[in-house]
């Protein structure tokens, strides 16, 4: 962990291992970089005079994840709409691949050994809404993309996405993660309402 300050003349401070906090004119940010992701998100907004601005960002090193990879995982979840299930996405050196570890799920619980080296993790809430619970917040302490799929027992299941940087989170939109349209009949949780302030507004 390191601490950096973004002065008009440039960054000062020492970079750490894993992630860094960066103070800029708009507040405090956290940033990290791996072989697969580079990201920076706002932790706390504040007006800091005399410093230069810092921008949020998310870059998938190998490009966005093809939508069909997610659709394979979604189909597997839909095959058991009353059971919580998990899948992840990993880069195998040439392409993104689906990873489904051994697991035990019930309508309200899920047990599995998290796979290593993954870029994104997704789990389902069976018939319940798609949201990140307090348990998810405690469990999802890595540096990757996270998603929850819910209402699998309805004609229109829902999905919510976020970026996690070691316990700091920012909500994401479908085009920020995937290449291709949203699967038919899948909707984003909260669709039609104003986005929360924690949304990570970035372009591709």
Least confident of 58-62, 111-115, 133-137, 180-184: 111-115
Distance of alpha carbon 77 from alpha carbon 186, whole angstroms: 13
- Mean per-residue pLDDT, 106-121: 92
Question: What integer is the mean pLDDT of 127-151?
Answer: 95
Task: Locate 90 and state its tokens.
Answer: 């990993």
Q: What is the pLDDT of residue 114?
A: 83
153-196 pLDDT per residue, tens? 999 999 999 999 999 999 999 999 999 999 989 999 975 433 44
Percentage of residues of the chain with pLDDT beyond 70: 93
Domain boundaries, the chain: 2-60, 65-188
The pLDDT, as a whole number, for residue 203 is 36
What is the full DSSP assignment across 63-100?
-SEEHHHHHHHHHHHHTSTTS--EEEEEE-SSSEEEE-
**pLDDT the model gives residue 190:** 73
Q: What's residue 113's pLDDT?
A: 87
Burial 134-162, CB ≥16 within 10 A → b, else e: eebeeebebbbbbbbbbbbeeeebbbbbb
Going by pLDDT thresholds of 50, 70 and 90, the confidence category of residue 200 is low
CATH code, 65-188: 3.40.140.10
Separation between Cα atoms, residue 154 and residue 123, nearest integer Å:
17
Question: What pTM does this model have?
Answer: 0.89
Structure tokens at 168: 């700091």
In the predicted structure, residue 120 carries a pLDDT above the cut 70: yes
- Asked if 162 contacts 132 with a C-beta cutoff of 8 angstroms, the reply is yes
Question: What does the pLDDT look like over 6-28, one tens digit per residue?
Answer: 999 999 999 989 999 999 999 99
Please report the pLDDT score of residue 96 as a whole number. Answer: 98
């Amino acid at each position: 962990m390191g601490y950096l300050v973004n002065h008009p003349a440039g960054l000062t401070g020492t970079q750490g291992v894993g992630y860094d906090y960066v103070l800029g004119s708009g507040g405090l940010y956290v940033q990290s970089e791996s072989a697969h992701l580079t990201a920076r998100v706002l932790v706390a907004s504040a007006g800091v005079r005399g410093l230069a601005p810092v921008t949020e960002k998310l870059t998938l090193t190998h490009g966005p994840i093809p939508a069909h990879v997610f659709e394979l995982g979604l189909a597997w979840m839909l095959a058991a709409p009353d059971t919580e299930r998990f899948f992840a996405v990993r880069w195998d050196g040439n392409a993104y691949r689906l990873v489904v570890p051994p697991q035990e799920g019930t309508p309200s619980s899920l047990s599995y050994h998290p796979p290593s080296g993954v870029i994104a993790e997704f789990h389902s809430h069976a018939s319940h809404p798609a949201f990140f619970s307090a348990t998810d917040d405690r469990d999802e302490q890595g540096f990757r993309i996270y998603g929850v799929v819910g209402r699998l027992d309805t004609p229109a299941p829902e999905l919510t996405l976020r970026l996690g940087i070691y316990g700091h989170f920012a909500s994401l939109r479908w085009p920020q993660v995937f290449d291709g349209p949203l699967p038919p009949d899948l909707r984003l949780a909260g669709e039609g309402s104003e986005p929360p302030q924690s949304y990570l507004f970035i372009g591709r």
